[in-house]
Chains A and B, each alone.
Chain A
Amino acid sequence: MTKTPRSEFNQKQLKVLKKAKLVSWVTIAYFGSVVILMFLVMGKSQAMKTTWTEDMLSLIPPINFLIGCRFCQKKPTQHFPYGFHRVVSVGFFFAAAALLLMGSFLFIDGLIVLLSREHPGIGQINIFGHFIWLGWLMIIVMIWGTVPSLFLGRIKLQLSKKIFDKILYTDAEMNRDDWLVGIVVILAIIAIGWGIWWADALGGMLISINVLADGIKQTKESVINLIDSAPKSLTGKYLSLGKRIKVRLKENPLIEDANVKLRDQGHIIFGEIFLKLKGQSTITAKQLNIMLTQIYQLDWRLQNLVITIQ
């Protein structure tokens, strides 16, 4: 192992990382405020209660990201020779599992409330001597819980693509989808005002289905990643990187055949290349290094390739 720490990222990406960390802290503070405000106004509304739980779950990805950042930059040790890059993948799994569990729980809870036909009682609240219907406050808090989330989601989406962070990307997607949750809850509250009591429980169930669907999708992606699938893009498509490396290698006159195995290591990609040389030819270390340098230029994520001559 080298003594100097190997950073996954170049200078430009480190700046992006710093910005992403700041945005994560802002996200934590923001959702913290939303959780507190929602707790104060949610009353007995099932839709609000489900959204409150969902917003608490929204605190997990940014915390995950910040922890992942701390670890992924650490240099490899004797006991962890491959470094700590995969902490990101593990963190993603925990977050996905939390979503899956909570989504299931919220769904069952919403179903029980709907079947027990509980009418939500929403009364007045005293604000500086004036009585206003709590439902209006709920709507205001929902707007606060939705609109800034959209902005944060957009920023995080752009940042995540630059440093290829799955946690940040997924977090951004969830934040961006918050507008739908906001609409559902606002409509549910207005429906309660209209006397349509079941709209509340239904809204709660719809939101829980959203959480559950996210949980299922992310758990699936995370497990596939943890069992060393071939690397994928942020959107979940398998990369053609392996093929491109193989084509590049075969361009070399000394090489008859090449096999490439790549695996995801959080932000970066490690891999093994198996070369079959033509006839009795030999290849020098210098030639191998030149070859490797060319291959590393194919994608910034390629950072640790091992070549085996068969």
Chain B
Amino acid sequence: MNYFFKGKFSNIYILIGVFFSLTLSACQWPKDPDDTFKKIIRNGQLRVAVIQSPPWVNYQGSIVSGIEVEIISQFAASIKVYPVWKPLSEQMAVIALKKHQVDLIIGGLTDQDPWQKYFTMTRPYFTAEYYIGLPKDHAAIRLPKNQNIAVKTNSFLIPYIMEKDFKVLESADPFTTQLPVAAEKNYLIYKAFKAYIKLCRFSHVIVVPLGENYLLKKLESFLKHNSAQFLQKGINPDDENTTI
């Protein structure tokens, strides 16, 4: 052990000790390299790029609504700033983020996003699992090949259903079709269905500028404590979310 306490070692330990104590006394840890959070507070504005993606983000003209819109509105309120929504496509949102024109991006983004090397993502605040479900009181049966599965019109689940060798019936309200329904798991349960066959899963995230670790920390803490309330009923793309 004497080996570790000779000359140069003790100097290094002192250096590390100094760093640690300075660290603990710092007011913002970890610090934003570009001071994004400080600028948000200073300007009183949280600029959010929104990508059309119901039910996460839904904008009609100047009215913006959606699950993630509600979450971020609450987050902005928690840090006492005013949210500003900027509708953009995903590519333009990423460019705007890089050029410091926006502070966050929302729009149903997942941890499999192909642009992820250009930004930092929060830990997933919700993992949506999509299943084929049958009514709760229905006896558990093995669904035959080419069975029709009801799904919302133009749903992204269609290719996943067809991969399982089933047929697809698109409907405005799949739950009235008397057929098995493909939807998000919590929503199936909400509609008194039981989830049987797993189709896919997506872990949803919020996007912050690359390396802005303090903003990331504040957002992740907020999401951890508050996001559950917005997702209790599961995801229904039809839901009339409250408008902001």
- The residues in B between 193 and 223 inclusive whose CB is less than 8 angstroms from any CB of A are 208-213, 216-217, 220-221
Q: Which residues of B contact A133 (CB under 8 A)?
A: 29-30, 213, 217
- In this complex, what residue of B is CB-closest to A126? B123
Residue-wise interface mask of A (109-121) relative to B, using a CB-CB cutoff of 8 A (1 in contact, 0 not) = 0000000001111
Q: Which of A123, A179, A196 contacts B123 (CB 8 A)?
A: A123
| Contact status of A118 and B211, CB under 8 A, knowing A124-B221, A150-B4, A193-B23 | yes
Residue-wise interface mask of B (9-50) relative to A, using a CB-CB cutoff of 8 A (1 in contact, 0 not) = 100100110011001001001111111000000000000000
Q: Quick check: A119 and B211 within 8 Å, CB to CB? A: yes
The contact sample of 15 A-B pairs, CB cut-off 8 A, is: A118-B211, A119-B33, A119-B210, A121-B119, A121-B212, A123-B123, A123-B213, A123-B217, A124-B123, A126-B123, A131-B220, A186-B16, A190-B23, A195-B30, A195-B31
Q: Which of A124, A192, A197 contacts B217 (CB 8 A)?
A: A124
Q: Quick check: A192 and B30 within 8 Å, CB to CB? A: yes
A22 contacts chain B at the CB level, 8 A cutoff: no
The smallest beta-carbon distance between A69 and chain B, in angstroms, is 28
The smallest beta-carbon distance between A123 and chain B, in angstroms, is 5
Bound together, the chains give a CA A159 to CA B209 distance in angstroms of 52
Bound together, the chains give a CA A3 to CA B16 distance in angstroms of 61
B136 contacts chain A at the CB level, 8 A cutoff: no
Bound together, the chains give a CA A172 to CA B217 distance in angstroms of 40
Among all A-B residue pairs, the 9 with the closest Cβ atoms? A119-B211, A121-B120, A195-B31, A193-B30, A197-B33, A195-B33, A123-B216, A119-B210, A124-B220
The smallest beta-carbon distance between A276 and chain B, in angstroms, is 52
Interface size class of B (residues with CB under 8 A): 20 to 34
- In this complex, what residue of A is CB-closest to B210? A119
The smallest beta-carbon distance between A51 and chain B, in angstroms, is 17
Q: Quick check: B224 and A131 within 8 Å, CB to CB? A: yes
The smallest beta-carbon distance between A105 and chain B, in angstroms, is 19
Count residues of A near B (Cβ-Cβ below 8 Å): 26
Q: Quick check: A118 and B210 within 8 Å, CB to CB? A: yes
| Contact status of A135 and B19, CB under 8 A, knowing A121-B210, A124-B220 | no
Besides the known contacts A118-B211, A121-B213, A131-B220, 8 further A-B residue pairs in the complex with CB atoms under 8 A apart: A119-B210, A119-B212, A122-B30, A122-B213, A123-B122, A124-B123, A192-B30, A195-B35
- In this complex, what residue of B is CB-closest to A196? B33
Bound together, the chains give a CA A190 to CA B163 distance in angstroms of 48
- In this complex, what residue of A is CB-closest to B216? A123
Bound together, the chains give a CA A150 to CA B5 distance in angstroms of 13
Q: Which residues of A contact B221 (CB under 8 A)?
A: 124, 131
Q: Quick check: B30 and A120 within 8 Å, CB to CB? A: no
The smallest beta-carbon distance between A182 and chain B, in angstroms, is 10
Bound together, the chains give a CA A122 to CA B123 distance in angstroms of 11
Bound together, the chains give a CA A190 to CA B3 distance in angstroms of 25
- The residues in B between 167 and 206 inclusive whose CB is less than 8 angstroms from any CB of A are none
Q: Which of A120, A154, A194 contacts B211 (CB 8 A)?
A: A120
Q: Quick check: A150 and B3 within 8 Å, CB to CB? A: yes
Bound together, the chains give a CA A172 to CA B163 distance in angstroms of 54
Q: Which of B12, B119, B216 contacts A183 (CB 8 A)?
A: B12
The smallest beta-carbon distance between A113 and chain B, in angstroms, is 11
Bound together, the chains give a CA A136 to CA B29 distance in angstroms of 12
Q: Quick check: B31 and A194 within 8 Å, CB to CB? A: yes
Bound together, the chains give a CA A120 to CA B117 distance in angstroms of 10
- The residues in B between 90 and 122 inclusive whose CB is less than 8 angstroms from any CB of A are 117, 119-122
The smallest beta-carbon distance between A130 and chain B, in angstroms, is 10
The smallest beta-carbon distance between B187 and chain A, in angstroms, is 25
- In this complex, what residue of B is CB-closest to A189? B30
- In this complex, what residue of A is CB-closest to B119? A121
The smallest beta-carbon distance between B206 and chain A, in angstroms, is 11
Bound together, the chains give a CA A121 to CA B123 distance in angstroms of 11
Q: Which residues of B contact A187 (CB under 8 A)?
A: 15-16, 19
Q: Please indicate which of the listed interface residues A44, A121, A126, A197 has the most CB atoms of chain B within 10 Å of its own CB.
A: A121
Bound together, the chains give a CA A179 to CA B11 distance in angstroms of 13
Q: Quick check: A197 and B211 within 8 Å, CB to CB? A: yes
Q: Which residues of B contact A197 (CB under 8 A)?
A: 33, 211
Q: Which residues of B contact A44 (CB under 8 A)?
A: 120
Q: Quick check: A154 and B3 within 8 Å, CB to CB? A: yes
Q: Which residues of A contact B211 (CB under 8 A)?
A: 118-121, 197
Q: Which of A124, A154, A195 contacts B32 (CB 8 A)?
A: A195
Bound together, the chains give a CA A133 to CA B214 distance in angstroms of 10
Q: Which residues of B contact A183 (CB under 8 A)?
A: 12, 16
Bound together, the chains give a CA A195 to CA B20 distance in angstroms of 15
Bound together, the chains give a CA A193 to CA B33 distance in angstroms of 9
The smallest beta-carbon distance between A197 and chain B, in angstroms, is 4
